[in-house]
Each structure stands twice: as C-alpha cells, then as structure tokens.
A = this chain, B = another copy of it.
C-alpha cells in the first residue's frame, strides 16, 4: 500500500477522532482533497472521483466536505465573481490569506503567522466602527498570477 503524506494521514486521523466513519468514499475524497492545494470545488472532486466510484452521489462529496469543515479540517473560500461561482474548499488549516488571480481565478495560499488583529487594526476599528469587536482579519490579495503575467508579454 502506498504511503500517505502527512496531511492526508492527519486528516484521516482527525476525521476518525471526530467520530466519523471511514467509508471508502470518504477515504478517496480525503486522499484527493488533502493533497490538492488548488482549492477545488465540489464539482472538481466529484469529477475526479467518478472513475473510481461511478455510482457516487454528488451529495456525498458535499456531505464529506461539510463534515471536514465542521471538524475544522477544511475551509471554504468564496469570492465575488460571475455567475456559477462555486464555493472552493481549502485543506490548509494553518492561518493564511489568499491571493486571487483576476485573470484565471487561481487561488494561492499566503502563509500568515496569525489572523489575529494587530493593535493598530483594533485601534483603527474602534474609530471607524465603534462597538465592533474584531476577532480575525482575513486578506485577499488581488492581482495576476505568474502564469497570467507571463502570457501578457
């Protein structure tokens, strides 16, 4: 049997630890998802799994990703966009921001030590939005990814 990467192993362990049953479908979804750093949609994963599980229901993918999200093992990224913009799932549980390519829509993780607001941010919010109590600050870096920058020679 092929050895699993640390992230896959950790996700499977935590899934089990959370009291969830390890079905063949879930194993397959986790193994695909944990190694995918391109923020796949449910559709993406579903299509890649159809070969191995021709009868798998779409709901199973959603249910599993939902279970992962509830267990804190996955995040959901939703970005303003055109019609049909589906939610994207993120196996990275470390604190991080996102860089989004305006041209191709690619989403990259940008590591962050913490998402906690800086003292400066807290101060600023106290002025601009009195009464609002900040817990975390998320950032979205918008621009062009390397590939799209290159193709605009």
Contacts and interface: CB of A to CB of B under 8 A. Distances in A.
A42 to B, nearest CB: 13
B117 A129 contact: no
B149 A141 contact: no
B110 A125 contact: yes
Interface residues of A, number: 40
B87 A76 contact: no
A7 to B, nearest CB: 18
Contact of A78 (B80, B125, B146, B150): B80
15 contacts: A76-B80, A78-B80, A78-B85, A99-B125, A108-B132, A111-B128, A129-B145, A132-B141, A132-B143, A132-B146, A134-B142, A136-B141, A137-B140, A138-B139, A139-B140
* In the complex, the 8 A-B pairs of residues with the closest C-beta atoms, listed nearest first: A131-B146, A134-B143, A135-B143, A138-B140, A78-B80, A136-B142, A133-B144, A133-B143
